[in-house]
Amino acid sequence: MYFRIRHQLTYAYERPVFLEPMTLRLMPRQDGSQRLLEHRLTLVEPATGLTRVLEPDGTDALVAWFQEKRDHLVIAVDMLVETLRSNPFDWIVTHPEAQHLPVTYPVAEARSLIGCHSERSDPEVTEWARAIADRVDGSATAFLSVMADEIHHGFHHIGRLEGEPTPAAETLASRTGACRDTAMLFVAACRSQGLAARFVSGYSMHHPPEVSEHELHAWAEAYLPGGGWRGFDPSLGLAVADGHVVLAAAPDHHLAAPVSGHYRGTGVGSSLSYRIRLKAADNLEALEGTAPPSLPD
């Protein structure tokens, strides 16, 4: 699958402020499941400096810094991405102790994954996850798919443009949440069963029923030896194949945010607006020769 995406973010401040260095995670990941064919990032008001960095979890990011005060900042990204995984289950578990819950990993992998499975989960989340594990006779692979399906069909999915993800126990209690809320619940439930899991941000060609246009999307990845990191989208109830484009994945959702940064300005309010235009096609010819999707002014 091929994706042509344009993502524009506009930050507006009530009066000029000083921007601290910003981390921009707006360059799609390149790995065995997707590759970046074109990428152009533009700051409408140029930064003083811009450097490419590799973050602790492998995210390809840009760090920008500034000298002049400003009352707005516009970030525009045009990209062409090819997704490669048509079968989300093209894998085999190579470590017997990872086939059944609670999962244990080989020592070397466990050390590498420590930030993704060492968190203590709320008792309510652990109990809920254990009940699902019992229904699938402790199968780690079945657990992932069944839990994604249960969240999709058993929760009320909402659109929520702002704010931190709600705590996993709160999302479970209310059975209501935006995609980032259900992703965090999925991650917490996995970790309660010994499965390494992390938060993912990116784009999807599938429209969740609670939104009317393309938005930044969130889901989860779980790790099993032999399969590596595999995506599961609980808001859509599916294992991730070639219909999703990953920007960033991290054990802490803050490190998967598309943009991270602060500004200095006493008592100065700010606002963020964004537009995403996405076109997907089965072949590159359908996208070649076309300009990136246009955005309104």
**CB-based contacts of 122: which residues, under 8 Å, 6+ apart?**
167, 168, 169, 188
Range 2-84+258-285 has CATH code 2.60.40.2250: yes
Query: Domain spans of the chain?
Result: 2-84+258-285, 96-241
The reported pLDDT for the residue numbered 159 is: 84
Relative orientation angle of helices 179-192 and 140-154, to the nearest 10 degrees = 150
The reported pLDDT for the residue numbered 209 is: 55
Range 96-241 has CATH code 3.10.620.30: yes
- Average pLDDT for residues 218-242, to the nearest whole number? 97
Question: What tokens does 196 get?
Answer: 């390494």
- What is the tens place of the pLDDT at every residue in 61-109? 999 999 999 999 999 999 999 999 999 999 999 999 999 999 999 999 9
- In angstroms, the CA 37 to CA 128 distance is 42
* CATH topology identical between 2-84+258-285 and 96-241: no
